[in-house]
Chains A and B, each alone.
Chain A
Amino acid sequence: MSSGGEEGGGLVLEMKGISKAYYGNRVLDGVDLSLGRGEIVALVGENGAGKSTLMNILFGMPAIRDTGGHEGEIRVGGRPVRIDSPRRALDLGIGMVHQEFMLLRTFTAAENVKLNREPLRPSLLSRALGAAGLGAGGAALATVDRAALREQARGALDRVGLSSLDELARVAGLPVAHQQLIEIAREVDKTGTKVLVLDEPTAVLAEGEARELLDVLRRLAGEGIGILFISHRLEEVLAVADRVVVLRDGQVVESKPARETSVEEVAERMVGRRIEMGERLGRPLAELRTTAPAPDAGDVHLSLRDLAVDMPGETLRGIDLDVRRGEVLGLAGLAGGGKVALANGLLGLHPGRAREATLWGRPLPLGSAAGCLARGIAFVSEDRRGTGLLLDASIARNITVAAMRARRRFLRLAALGPLALVDGAAERAWAREMIGRFDIRCTGPDQPVRRLSGGNQQKVCLARAFTLEPELLLVNEPTRGIDVGAKRTVLESIVERNRRDGTTIVMASSELAELRLVCDRIAVLADGRLAGVLAPDAPDLHFGLLMAGKPCPAQAAA
């Protein structure tokens, strides 16, 4: 914990009543956040809670401006400001260290620190142009003062603890931790930096490196810079921050001094019970679940031992899991925990490997989507618009494209193999049936899918999976970014499929409340490993602990 706080008086940054909606979807709702001089504030929250959007607003990103701006007020040093471009944020003294490093790999550390602020020495030409009144253009022809550049960069690098780094070293070969510190050095080198914002700074660092980074942050805070950082590594957060702010569903649900709270409490606040959601979804869903017997530890449908998947941002580091026949298994966890990687790894969208992977007891080769489809597995991706849809193709084609190959449906003259003709009439008829079953709001089976709303697009993705008549359905983030009515239809369809046809379901979702409504068991993944398996009605605290990667007293069998 740093010794900084609101000494020196006054807040360097105040955000009041910040609200933002993207195309009717409310992402931030009346968020208040303040930062004092030399204070370290940590911002935590699930993916989709609104952290990135808040930072984008603070940094004046064009994406905010282009989608209708935001409501609420921002004050820097007590004065209200309008931040409408990154340049403006920089001028106000707000520095940002992004998750992807903004470094030029073939330039030296010193050059990177001073990028676009290089010390210059006037040359003959620049003086001549300046005299002729072409000052701005002339400055471009001043030469870069290499000696001064080295010296100034050296100072900044020393400030962030990189005194042993050769400032003339090319960034490309340097370890990630050093690269990050160079980024920070660049920000603090700017005179007038009052606020430093860091987005998941320790995500790419090893433990020791993370500790060093936190030391640097403490030192900088000690110099009077206000630090705001986003992280989901709760231990670190409490170790270094003065205050913790928890964001959930676009609202601030907690804002406490770090010493007055604990990891468990923060985890619980991030997850929280959302009773209203369950009630809004309506009783029929809950009824569907309770009227059917829960499967016991009977046949094992899918068995995985030491499954590892290399999916950037969601790496799985080796998990053991048995999926039982006919059950609805939920995969829960914080963003980056790896819950969506399981399905992606099985189908080969990201490289995966396992010591053992069997389907109904027979080995299942990883990485072949065609192989998985042939063996009765269907997949609904979390990346709806990217992997889930042919945006310019019709609803009908989107629904049938996978089953056409894998199940030889919707074809005439099927004996011709690849030259079999697509039966357009059958396609459309089937699509109409699906449209009715899922209540897809559209003008007909020929409408290009691009025009549909997010919820209806998701239904199309689901319909495609159902058309494969799978025995095992892997679905990632089924209700992300869609309206309540569509959420309900989607969840109901999934549950109905399970109860009526016995399809085994593995559902990865950030919406824990929904998982708790429909699943028989819930596996929690944290930091790429299986933290534990819980019954849906287990207490919030247990979920919070597992998600934070801490051990939990009671667990259901894996």
Chain B
Amino acid sequence: MGDLRGRLGDAVAALGLPRILIFAFLVLTWLVAALATDLPLPGLLRDSIVRTGQNGVLVLALVPMVRAGSGLNFGLPLGIVCGLAGCVLAMERGLAGAPMLAVATLVSLPCAALAGLGYALLLERVRGQEMMVGIYVGFGAVALASVAWLVAPVTSPDLIWPVGGRGVRYLVAVDSAFAVSISVWRPAGIAALVAVWLGACALVALFSRTLAGASLDAAGQNERLALAAGIPVRRLRRLGVILSTVLAAFGIVIFTHGQGLLPLYKAPLLMALPAVAALLLGGATIARASVWNAVVGTFLFQALLASGLPVVNALVHQSAQSAALKDFPEVARLIVANGIILYALTRKG
């Protein structure tokens, strides 16, 4: 009996009290949904899983840089923009579904690697202020990309701006490789999405177990020790940034196939902070993160938003409010995501 309690205590400590509490809150939300509203519970659960799968790799992308000691990658939009470029190129060729996913990935990965290298070289010179500079790299990348989307010489009718003959329009629909139309999912599709996400997670976890990964971890945990042990710290930190950018590119390709839309123009900016919040929610800090943090955090964050908001909507029940509440999910996301990040920033160390 004592051993069971000890084991339980260890499990709780390993997961962390905050996460247990949030999970409990989530379960409570589902109970309320099932019992007190006429929202379909299977639908809420399905939405939670789908959103987790489509956002998962973006959150995962943050892990390598934290482990390498470069902090939270607020410059995620750089990799995102590379991924979007790949998608646009693939769609311009007329591709859709799985082929589009494959080609977009193949095109954007090298592009992201190169961009990541440039980003890494910049971050090297600004050691200690990576997060701040990262935010601006993200802004800059999005701004440049926006101008690029505006003037891009695309011809595909799926992409082109209705007026003027060039440029990519704001809302571009994507034919998902996971066999879905915007609101209809098949179990096989969901399973495939989740499998891709978890596969990426497994790869990143495996990397930690390689010599390079172990060295990268050491470099991030204690730079001086790593130097004294002959570990090439700067090279590994660069690798961390490149990995992060490449994963972000892949992550956005997956995302578009989950969401069914290309998040062009300003949209990538709205994706970086929630990803960071999700990772922090999963138990990571500015100095330490694991694949497990990314997995747990993505699920909790997305499930919270996917389940919690409709439930709150339904409970607050006045039809006069419903038009105004259309924007509530976005606002709530803003508040929750930024609140989490703020908490992490104001903690010691």
Question: Does A touch B (CB under 8 Å) in the complex?
Answer: yes
**Residues 229-242 of chain B, each 1 if its beta carbon lies under 8 Å from chain A, else 0:** 11110000000000
A67 to B335, CA, bound (A): 40
CB-defined contacts of B230 to chain A, threshold 8 Å: 368-374, 402, 405-406
Are B215 and A405 in contact, with the CB atoms below 8 A?
A: yes
Q: Is B288 engaged at the interface, CB distance under 8 Å to the other chain?
A: yes
Smallest CB separation, B113 vs chain A (Å): 16
State in angstroms the CA–CA spacing of A347 and B227 once bound together: 9
Given contacts A387-B222, A419-B212, 16 further A-B contacts (CB under 8 A): A349-B224, A370-B231, A373-B229, A373-B230, A379-B228, A389-B225, A391-B221, A392-B221, A392-B288, A393-B218, A401-B229, A405-B230, A417-B211, A418-B210, A420-B210, A422-B210
B227 touches A421 (CB 8 A): no
- Contact string against A for B residues 3-39, beta-carbon threshold 8 Å, 1 for contact and 0 otherwise: 0000000000000000000000000000000000000
Whether A386 and B224, one on each chain, are in contact in the complex, defined by CB atoms closer than 8 angstroms, is: yes
Q: How far is the CA of A133 from the CA of B210 in the complex (A)?
A: 69
Proximity bits, A367-397, B CB within 8 Å = 1, else 0: 0111111100001010100111111110001
Assess whether A285 is interfacial by the CB under 8 Å rule. no
| B214 CB within 8 Å of chain A | yes
User: Which listed residue (A369, A392, A416, A417) contacts B228, Cβ 8 A?
Assistant: A369
- Our pick among B210, B225, B228 for the contact of A419 (Cβ within 8 Å) is B210
B228 lies within 8 A of A389 (CB): no
With A349-B227, A390-B218, A419-B211 in contact, do A370 and B288 touch (Cβ < 8 Å)?
no
**Does B127 have its Cβ within 8 Å of any Cβ on chain A?**
no
Given A389-B222, A392-B221, A393-B221, A401 and B214 contact (CB-CB distance below 8 Å): yes
Q: How many residues of A contact B (CB 8 A)?
A: 36
**Complex contact A381–B211 (CB within 8 A):** no
Chain A residue, CB-CB nearest to B288? A392
Find out whether the CB atom of A348 lies under 8 angstroms from the CB atom of B211: no
CB atoms of A348 and B225 under 8 A apart:
no
Q: State whether the Cβ of A335 lies closer than 8 Å to any Cβ in chain B.
A: no
**Are B227 and A422 in contact, CB atoms less than 8 angstroms apart?**
no
- Give chain B interface residues in 34-70, CB to chain A under 8 Å: none
**Cβ of A348: which chain B residues have Cβ within 8 Å of it?**
227
List, in ascending order, chain A residues with CB within 8 A of B231's CB. 370, 401, 405
Interface SS of chain A: helix, strand, loop or mixed? helix
18 sample A-B contacts, Cβ–Cβ < 8 Å, listed by A number: A369-B229, A371-B230, A374-B230, A379-B228, A387-B224, A390-B222, A391-B222, A393-B218, A393-B221, A401-B218, A402-B229, A402-B230, A404-B211, A405-B229, A406-B230, A418-B212, A418-B215, A419-B212
A391: B residues at CB distance < 8 A: 221-222
B93 close to chain A: CB less than 8 A? no
Q: Does A463 contact B (CB under 8 A)?
A: no
Q: How far is the CB of B47 from chain A (nearest CB, A)?
A: 37
List of B residues within 8 angstroms of A342 by Cβ: none
* Contact of A390 with B225 at beta-carbon distance under 8 Å, contacts A401-B218, A402-B230 already known: yes
In contact, B227 and A369 (Cβ under 8 angstroms): yes
Chain B residues near A387 (CB-CB < 8 A): 222, 224-225, 228
Q: Which of B214, B228, B288 interacts with A404 by CB under 8 Å? A: B214
Residues facing A in B188-230 (CB within 8 A) are 206, 209-212, 214-215, 217-218, 221-222, 224-225, 227-230
State the B residues within 8 Å of A (CB): 206, 209-212, 214-215, 217-218, 221-222, 224-225, 227-232, 288
**Nearest residue, chain B, Cβ from A349:** B228
Contacts of B214 in A (CB 8 A): 397, 401, 404, 422
Q: Do the beta carbons of A388 and B211 come within 8 Å of each other?
A: no
List chain B residues, Cβ under 8 A from A368.
Answer: 230
Nearest Cβ on chain B to A396's Cβ, whole angstroms: 11
A405 neighbours in B (Cβ, 8 Å): 211, 215, 229-231
> How far does the alpha carbon of A381 sit from the alpha carbon of B227 in the complex, in Å?
12
Q: How far is the CA of A420 from the CA of B207 in the complex (A)?
A: 9
CB-based nearest B residue for A419: B210
Interface SS of chain B: helix, strand, loop or mixed? helix
Please tell me if A332 contacts chain B, counting CB pairs below 8 Å. no
Chain A positions within 8 Å of B, measured between CB atoms, are 347-349, 368-374, 379, 381, 383, 386-393, 397, 401-402, 404-406, 411, 416-422, 424
B226: min CB distance to chain A, Å: 8
Collect the chain B residues with CB atoms within 8 Å of residue A419's CB.
210-212
Contact assessment for A370 and B232 in the assembled complex, using a CB-CB cutoff below 8 Å: yes
A402: chain B residues at CB < 8 Å are 228-230
Q: How far is the CB of B348 from chain A (nearest CB, A)?
A: 15
B89 to chain A, nearest CB (A): 30
* Cα distance, A389 to B228, chains bound together (Å): 11
Complex contacts, A422 vs chain B, CB 8 Å = 209-211, 214
Distance of A374 Cα from B222 Cα, bound (Å): 21
Give B232's nearest chain A residue, CB to CB.
Answer: A370
CB distance from B107 to the nearest CB of A (A): 24
CB distance from B76 to the nearest CB of A (A): 25
- A154 CA to B215 CA in the complex, in Å? 57
Which B residue's beta carbon lies closest to that of A408? B211
Cβ-closest chain B residue relative to A374? B230
Minimum CB distance partner of B227 in chain A? A369
Q: Are B221 and A420 in contact (CB-based, < 8 A)?
A: no
User: Which of A369, A373, A381, A386 has most chain B Cβ within 10 Å?
Assistant: A369
Chain B contacts of A397 at CB under 8 A? 214
CB of B222 within 8 A of CB of A381, answer no
Please, which residues of chain B bring their CB within 8 A of the CB of A373? 229-230
| A421 proximity list for chain B (CB < 8 A) | 206, 209-211
Contact assessment for A411 and B211 in the assembled complex, using a CB-CB cutoff below 8 Å: yes
> How near does chain B come to A344, taking the closest CB pair, in angstroms?
9
* A390, B221: Cβ atoms closer than 8 Å: yes
Residue from A349, A388, A390 having most chain B Cβ neighbours under 10 A:
A390
Give the residues in chain A near B212, CB-CB below 8 Å: 418-419
The CA-CA distance from A191 to B90 in the complex, in Å, is 79
Tell me the bound Cα distance from A424 to B208 in angstroms: 12
Residues in B whose Cβ lies below 8 Å from that of A379: 228
CB distance from B49 to the nearest CB of A (A): 31
Nearest residue, chain B, Cβ from A461:
B225
Residue among B210, B214, B227, B288 with max Cβ neighbours from chain A (10 Å): B214
Residues of chain A within 8 A of B221, CB atoms compared: 390-393
Q: In the complex, which residue of chain A has the Cβ closest to the Cβ of B287?
A: A392
Contact at B211–A420, with CB atoms within 8 Å?
yes
Task: Please indicate the chain A residues that have their CB under 8 angstroms from the CB of B288 in the complex.
Answer: 392
CA gap between A348 and B228 in the complex, in Å:
8
Cβ-closest chain B residue relative to A427: B214
- Complex Cα gap A401–B224 (Å): 13
Tell me the smallest distance from the CB of B284 to a CB of chain A, in Å: 13
Give the docked Cα–Cα distance between A437 and B211 (Å). 26
**Once bound together, how far apart are the Cα atoms of A379 and B227, in whole Å?**
12
Q: Are B210 and A388 interface neighbours, CB within 8 A?
A: no
B206 contact set on A, CB distance < 8 A: 421
A347 near B222 with CB under 8 A, answer: no
Q: For A404, what are the chain B residues with a Cβ–Cβ distance below 8 Å?
A: 211, 214-215
Q: How far is the CA of A347 from the CA of B209 in the complex (A)?
A: 27
A371 CA / B230 CA spacing, docked (Å): 8
Residues from chain B with a CB closer than 8 A to the CB of A371 are 230
- The chain A residue with its CB closest to the CB of B239 is A418
**Chain B residue nearest to A373 in the complex (CB):** B230
State in angstroms the CA–CA spacing of A379 and B228 once bound together: 8
Quote the shortest CB–CB distance from B12 to chain A (angstroms). Answer: 18
Bound complex: CA A549 to CA B217 (Å): 45
A136 to B210, CA, bound (A): 62
Contacts of B217 in A (CB 8 A): 393
- Complex CA gap A392/B231 in Å reads 18
Q: Which residue of A lies closest to B218 (CB)?
A: A401
| Residues of B with C-beta under 8 A to A392 | 221, 288
